[in-house]
Amino acid sequence: MASSTEDVILIVDDAPQNLTVLGNLLQPEFRVRAANSGARALKAVLTEPRPSLIMLDIMMPDMDGYAVIAALKANPETQSIPVMFITAMSDSHDEEHGLMLGAVDYITKPFRPAIVLARVKAQLELKHSRDKLKQQNDWLEQEVARRMSENILIQELNIRALACLAEARDNETGRHIIRTQSYVAILGEYLIQQANHAPELTPEKLQQIIKAAPLHDIGKVGIADVILLKPGRLTSAEFEIMKTHTTIGSEAINKAISQAVAANPQLNTSHSAVSFLQIAEEIARCHHEKWDGSGYPMQLSGESIPIGARLMALADVYDALVSRRVYKVAWSFSDANHWIELGKGKHFDPQIVDAFVACSAECEAIARLHAD
């Protein structure tokens, strides 16, 4: 705790003799500042160093002690400074009123030196304890924020590493992960701003969808190289096997969820880590479903397709259209845009197509910036 000589005490009283008596009593142990009116007190309290304690007379002309403490408590810069009332009044109602306004104690006139010093020291001890506790709480909040930031970074790096594992096995995806994640973010942020956007798309959920987007093709790690790396179009049989990357990814993520919950019984579906994995599972399983029900693997339709998968469906197709593949050249952006619009209400969620049309220039910019 700071020594008492470092504490500044502001005495506020319109009677010079009271200022003199209290000043002489306190100066041997504290730094004393004086003000003979409420208005001057409100200016003096803002002078550095700020007072550690204010001793405030109630009965003063123009601005009484009640008005002064009300002003002090209304100002964020001064509201935490403890105030002790100085009074000649003995009515308990006056004392109760002062305490309700935020006073920490009362000292009655005439002053009894030993009582004054004991109460002043007690209030300063309390203030130092509160200040120390606040400093510790501030440090803890900063430390928690720092560690959460580190954990989020580690989580994102792990997600990126898993996504890159799938990408490394498919030598044609290039920077597909970065681009599709960016498209999802652009489309989702636009949708949230619209009055009639899908109600399940909240800002918090969108952030989880954006984080989970790189895992959409994680199931490709389970597809044989002879199919995954085939330099040309797949046969019908090969395409049926390729389609299983959706269920392979879904099953892998569901297994991760089950193992995490088994190892940590306190986890439930509302926990952020579990809800994130559930969204990742939905995207991995459903990003090839189509709005009209003609997609795979479950032939889901309309809003029964999770919103994250609906966003990824458009992002994935758009990126495939504007990127070169061994079996096709990259389409022009105008042709790709036209194809996406033709898929409105068939392949894609109509609202997401509308969002794409509004944001097509931004999507094109992402495609150019992160071109293979």
Is the same domain home to 133 and 253?
Answer: no
Considering the domain boundaries, does residue 84 fall inside one?
yes
C-alpha pair distances (Å), 78 with each of 5, 71, 172, 276 = 21, 9, 63, 44
> How many domains is the chain built from?
2
Considering the domain boundaries, does residue 227 fall inside one?
yes
Is the same domain home to 131 and 263?
Answer: no
Residue 338 has a pLDDT of 97
CATH code, 133: 3.40.50.2300
Q: SS3 for the chain, per residue?
A: CCCHHHCEEEEECCCHHHHHHHHHHHCCCCEEEEECCHHHHHHHCCCCCCCCEEEEECCCCCCCHHHHHHHHHHCCCCCCCCEEEEECCCCHHHHHHHHHHCCCEEEECCCCHHHHHHHHHHHHHHHHHHHHHHHHHHHHHHHHHHHHHHHHHHHHHHHHHHHHHHHHHCCCCCCHHHHHHHHHHHHHHHHHCCCCCCCCCCHHHHHHHHHHHHHCCHHHHHCCHHHHCCCCCCCHHHHHHHHCHHHHHHHHHHHHHHHHHHHCCCCCCCCHHHHHHHHHHHHHHHCCCCCCCCCCCCCCCHHHCCHHHHHHHHHHHHHHHHCCECCECCCCHHHHHHHHHHCECCCECHHHHHHHHHHHHHHHHHHHHCCC
CATH code, 245: 1.10.3210.10
Considering the domain boundaries, does residue 61 fall inside one?
yes
Is the same domain home to 180 and 329?
Answer: yes
Residue 24 has a pLDDT of 92
Is the same domain home to 301 and 181?
Answer: yes
Is the same domain home to 265 and 354?
Answer: yes
- Domain end, chosen from 88, 107, 138, is at 138
pLDDT tens by residue, the chain, 372 residues: 444 558 999 999 999 999 999 999 999 899 999 999 999 999 999 999 999 999 999 889 889 999 999 999 999 999 999 999 988 766 566 677 888 888 999 888 888 899 999 999 999 999 999 888 888 888 877 777 676 666 655 566 566 666 666 665 665 555 888 899 999 999 999 999 988 877 889 999 999 999 999 889 989 888 888 888 888 888 999 999 999 999 999 998 888 888 877 877 776 666 667 788 899 999 999 999 999 999 999 999 999 999 999 999 999 999 999 998 777 899 999 999 999 999 999 999 999 999 999 999 999 999 999 987
Pairwise CA distance, residues 137 & 134, whole Å: 5
Nearest CA to 321 among 289, 295, 347?
A: 347
Considering the domain boundaries, does residue 144 fall inside one?
no
Considering the domain boundaries, does residue 31 fall inside one?
yes
Is the same domain home to 129 and 161?
Answer: no
- Domain end, chosen from 138, 160, 192, is at 138
Is the same domain home to 227 and 362?
Answer: yes
Residue 87 belongs to domain spanning? 4-138
What count of other Cβ atoms lies within 10 Å of the Cβ of residue 343? 21
Considering the domain boundaries, does residue 143 fall inside one?
no
Query: Does residue 231 have a cis bond before it (omega within 30 degrees)?
Result: no
- Domain end, chosen from 89, 110, 138, is at 138
Residue 256: CB partners within 8 Å, gap ≥ 6? 277
Residue 372 has a pLDDT of 79
Considering the domain boundaries, does residue 299 fall inside one?
yes
Considering the domain boundaries, does residue 310 fall inside one?
yes
Is the same domain home to 227 and 348?
Answer: yes
Residue 162 has a pLDDT of 65
Residue 3 has a pLDDT of 44
Is the same domain home to 173 and 244?
Answer: yes
Pairwise CA distance, residues 356 & 238, whole Å: 32
Residue 276 has a pLDDT of 84
Is the same domain home to 122 and 165?
Answer: no
Is the same domain home to 181 and 218?
Answer: yes
Pairwise CA distance, residues 19 & 21, whole Å: 6
Is the same domain home to 330 and 220?
Answer: yes
